Chain A
């Protein structure tokens, strides 16, 4: 595949104004699916969480999941939207094998929530308001696995497998209005927006929000218009950008790619684009015109959704605080400096740190782990920090350090084990035999051996030159393969040396 030419980012911004738009799909973590009693679960054997409705079997009919409606209303309210007194499901008709009925039950001209706005904070502390067009309910499609091709794509595949476990999982699609004025901050704003949506749904408790699992998926629309031009440029829609980092990179890349084409006098094709994590580029998907005809019509199998004003008020009263207010509160509660908190926030790690603290870690330990070693590992692996380890496991790790079972250095090794899938920290400690040796007997034996091997050092210590103990500590730590508490070793050396 020929690499597209790209223009230098600053140069692109000099010539063009970027206009952004986002469609974020949020998978709701209800017990059952949007329109059937089949379980809504992740990671189970293919085609086990299914029912006649998920498979679109003849005669089956959908029934709306009430919890999903409540979650959708809560999300709509958290996005500052109005909740429609009456909203309606509609059928979006298109043939695709992951779509069991060959139509998706979605909402079209009567979404449950509309006209809202979300405040998004950038790294420098400035706040931007993102206008929300609508949030509507729909069902997810199944998952296709293309087998036999080189790329895992449908092109060149010998056959494809369909897993309908995901078919019918409740989704809310949040659609922004066009976002103007992002300028140089466009990539960062994109990331901050998705991160804010993620914080909101986590705070609401309505989604697991794991981007690497597809719980939260972002389609990023980017168009450019020459400086001074009123008319919007042609947009592209980069699909399923599934990490915060990628959202930022994809928007930056599209700006640079489109700028290169436009500056050459070329035109942008209205199309979907695939994001390639490895190369940091996008490639053309299918052409997408506004004339795509999904033959929407009101879903005749379902009644309109008419939430009572009481329900809406009940859900409004139960809303968690807005993200900006929440951040301020957390920063104070945790006792973080501005810099410390920004570090956490810019890493998209506020929710993780909060959950880690809730699981028992101290704020400083939680912060250090997430912004330090875990982020470093994520960077090395080119993945999202949140995908590496659960907050519970980080808290467990912090606990092991605190109670002296692990040194910081050992804990880093345990973390590697956890990330490698060897189990919870306690299990990794067990399997790798990484715990600090707290058995004085074993330490004393090693110390005696080291002192015997270095009689001159022993003499110095006995002479009162306690700093000479350093040489023995090194030898003992080496003998213990690092699994000893250096302070304790030092104590014991001085004790042994003092003995006649």
Chain B
């Protein structure tokens, strides 16, 4: 394996800046890696044919002495939920097969402007509905740690691409854990920013009040660098915050050099420590807590009594919004069109198209959501769910009165086997129990790898959650923990992953 692809984005940034390597070389190495291993991993739905040209233009600009951003010339994998003008955008669905968007998602446009090289579109559960990427219409992605296991979801493609060294950086979207749970099961770093911190314009909507775009990387610093590129106000997204944001990369560098958590009050969510968590996940999590404490953090047990209702509320709010957001896929203006034999009315064509174009999980949630919004049921379902949402927000507010950060395991189990939970939607939904509260409250959260579960040798992550707008706290603490673990292990966790592409 080429050494170049094992480098973090920040390392590549230095090599590119000093002229030791070119963007074309970096991009070619990653394209070669994709060619070598993606047949096994299936992280990509589409690989860019322009990437080398884009890389070459970055090299040219650099050679002319143009001042480029730190990530210029570095390949970026883009979750297929984000629309792009140069590659199809399907959101993992048959109904959008081959769909070309006339505009770039704002995060993609910002990435291009920063000189990043979009290298391909990554696989995902259809319309981001799922926790395993098995609901993709284009076949599942395989976990690079064990190809028989799921890479998490919905953003399994982005996480697997980064974990398999097919790209140093990826963009994901997180509605209920779709960045953090895949990070947890693939040994990578994933961040869901504060709701409104990153533009949603051009992210094919799943649940508008929960969706948030964020970075998927192998190091906390890399996530910070990418966050700095994609974050900030976007006039095209009315829910985008107008705040001035501090540099997340700077926060990560601060954290890495701090070497201790002195003065940090960390709330341990008592609801996320007991039953339902795999033993190896618990063990690594408890070790991580000890590491926090032995390095100066003050651990405080915190109760968030309404978190236990989070999944129930989430599976009413999400389907409700999704049922409306997905109504536009009707064959009239774009996308797949299925005409019933002998023609048919527009209603029949819409119906046949949606029947053929949507997978079973999407249909399940559209039906759920339609029901939850129906007259006579609205108050009992959607209305109650919104009340629970408010209570969960209050749980966070109460907790953050006494602590700076909250922690939990990023997910209750390590990567499960492909197919294991496919027929049991409820079991699948429960895998997001730890990640969903942050989406309901709009707070930022990050998953950082903390080791391998002894019983199966698979990665485990810890989740940090911060108050709204305090994303930088995540980067500072995450980078401190990462540095301490790196010191203990002598290498990054992914160095322990099996070699790929041998077969």
Contact = CB atoms under 8 A, between A and B. Distances in A.
Contacts of B355: none
Nearest to A58: B204
Contacts of B324: 91, 93, 103, 295, 297
Contacts of A303: 238-239
Given A95-B330, A295-B373, A303-B239, A58 B89 contact: yes
B238 A97 contact: no
B91 interface: yes
B374 A293 contact: yes
A101 B321 CA distance: 13
B327 A101 contact: yes
A297 B320 contact: yes
A64 B238 contact: yes
Interface string A76-109: 0000000000000001010101001111000000
B327 A300 contact: no
Interface stretch (A13-21, A49-57, A118-126, A133-141): A49-57
A484 to B, nearest CB: 61
B238 A291 contact: no
Interface residues of B, number: 43
Given A57-B102, A58-B89, A93-B327, A300 B321 contact: yes
A302 interface: yes
B346 interface: yes
B89 A302 contact: no
A162 B101 contact: no
A456 interface: no
A175 B237 CA distance: 31
Interface stretch (B7-15, B150-158, B195-203): B195-203
Nearest to B347: A95
B327 A61 contact: no
Contacts of B330: 95, 97, 102
B358 interface: no
Nearest to A64: B238
A214 B205 CA distance: 33
Interface in B199-231: 200-205, 207-209
Given A102-B327, A300-B208, A303-B238, A59 B102 contact: no
A493 B204 CA distance: 84
A62 interface: yes
A297 B204 contact: no
B327 A59 contact: no
Contacts of B83: 58-59
A311 interface: no
Interface string A150-166: 00000000001010000
Contacts of B200: 61
Contacts of B89: 58-59
Nearest to A47: B333
B302 interface: no
A103 B327 contact: yes
A63 interface: yes
B203 A59 contact: yes
Contacts of B333: 55-57, 100
Interface in B472-493: none
A48 interface: no
Given A295-B370, A295-B373, A58 B99 contact: yes
Contacts of B407: none
Interface of A: 52, 55-64, 91, 93, 95, 97, 100-103, 160, 162, 291, 293, 295-297, 300-303
Given A58-B334, A63-B236, A97-B346, 5 more contacts: A61-B200, A97-B330, A97-B332, A297-B320, A303-B238
